Amino acid sequence: MATSPRSPPGAPPPPEFEISRQSRLLAALSKKVIDLDELRMLAAQGVPDGAAVRPTVWKLLLGYLPSDRALWEQELAKKRSQYAAFKEEFLSNPMEIARRQELEGQGSENTGSIDNGLLHRSEVTQEEHPLSLGKTSAWNQFFEYSEIMEQIDRDVKRTHPDMQFFCGDSSFAKSNQESLKNVLIIFAKLNAGIRYVQGMNEILAPLFFVFRNDPDDKNANFAEADSFFCFVELLSGFRDNFCQKLDNSAVGIQGTLSKLSQLVAKYDGELQRHLEIITEVNPQFYAFRWITLLLTQEFNFADTIHIWDTLLSDPDGPQETLLRICCAMLILVRKRLLAGDFTSNLKLLQNYPPTNISHLLYVANKLH
């Protein structure tokens, strides 16, 4: 049996180490062509908050920004323009589209009369009628997604209720909620096989928070567009976990949970047997949320951001690193788990205790 890795006390790194890490990160980002291997190595140790470069680092790690700095402006302009087109196409209801088309038509004909921007009765085709059930009917497609849009609205309003950034009556919070909704609705319409799965709002939130707090106002103002493309890229590595048809397959969520069980057995067979055989606490009882929501619900928001620095740094995608962190979470509370029964262990793992994140990530890295 492989022994559990022994780790040093999880004391915070000394200030001089933080300064050195920050200067190395800034130097890596200042190169004309970014060395992504070097950037991943540095970011995996955590991006110092004081460096104000996390938005740029995450965009590079997710492949949203090319490694060649000379291409950044062009690539960002192209992506942001593409997102604006998505908003135009997917967030307008059919009445708005019809009114816009009529206005454009009247402008080209130079008629000089707007006529309230409404279609004349004779011009409303069968497919444009709100009661049309045709598959190509804009109205039918609009109503088809109304239930999803309502679910997104409910979930977004529940996103981090303790943070004024996401919740509250301020115009800033409402604007941020609107951005989250826009991204999730557009994603759902572009990905018909998945659409929207409850909890996606929790995965989007860290991305949008980091990008909206970019010290460069121009970038901060395009946080919604940047978050959309990075969200798509991040989810591409976990897509199968959200596809219900694949739940019980080797690539679905059950397959991922099985990998976690095997990882725990490899590094701590005694703990795996006690959990799954003696107390019958199977990974799906606690790790389903850990994995599908990328640990966003297990730690405070600031700690989640630091965990994601490490998750996004994995060149093979975040899933393997995520499983190692989940395994490390079990190892860190192994004494309590070995002494516990079904009820106490389930309660412990569904409400994971506060822990030193640097220490947790150190243990997870030793499982590599």
> Residues with Cβ < 8 Å from 180, sequence gap 6 or more?
156, 159, 166, 201, 204, 205, 208
Of 237, 266, 297, the residue that ends a domain is 237
Q: Does residue 23 form part of some domain?
A: no
Of 211, 237, 263, the residue that ends a domain is 237
Domain harbouring 208, CATH code: 1.10.8.270
d(CA 262, CA 272): 9
| CB-CB contact of 271 with 283 (8 Å) | no
| CB-CB contact of 213 with 192 (8 Å) | no
Cα-only R_g, the chain: 24
| CB-CB contact of 4 with 359 (8 Å) | no
Of 206, 237, 268, the residue that ends a domain is 237
Map tokens 């679905």 to a residue: 252
Strand partners, 33: 68
Q: Can you tell me the mean pLDDT for 113-133?
A: 48
- For the chain, the domain total comes to 2
Q: Does residue 26 form part of some domain?
A: no
| Pair (208, 271) in one structural domain | no
| Pair (278, 202) in one structural domain | no
Give per-residue pLDDT as tens, 320-347: 999 999 999 999 999 999 999 999 999 9
| Pair (148, 183) in one structural domain | yes
Q: Does residue 25 form part of some domain?
A: no
The pLDDT assigned to 93 comes to 67
| Pair (293, 199) in one structural domain | no
Q: Assign 279 to helix, strand or coil.
A: coil
Q: Does residue 77 form part of some domain?
A: yes
d(CA 158, CA 137): 33
| Pair (198, 268) in one structural domain | no
| Pair (145, 86) in one structural domain | yes
Q: Does residue 351 form part of some domain?
A: yes
Q: Is the pLDDT of residue 95 over 60?
A: no
Domain harbouring 251, CATH code: 1.10.472.80
| Pair (200, 81) in one structural domain | yes
Q: Does residue 263 form part of some domain?
A: yes
| Pair (273, 227) in one structural domain | no
Among 27-41, 194-208, 231-245, 338-352, the range scoring the smallest mean pLDDT is: 231-245
The pLDDT assigned to 118 comes to 47
| Pair (209, 171) in one structural domain | yes
The pLDDT assigned to 9 comes to 40
Q: Does residue 2 form part of some domain?
A: no
Global pTM reads 0.83
Express as a percent the part of the chain with pLDDT over 70: 77
Q: Which domain holds residue 327?
A: 244-366
| Pair (58, 172) in one structural domain | yes
Q: Does residue 317 form part of some domain?
A: yes
Give per-residue pLDDT as tens, 55-93: 999 999 999 999 999 999 999 999 999 999 999 999 976
The pLDDT assigned to 145 comes to 75
| Pair (189, 230) in one structural domain | yes
Q: Tell me the two tokens of residue 174.
A: 């409402």
| Pair (201, 249) in one structural domain | no
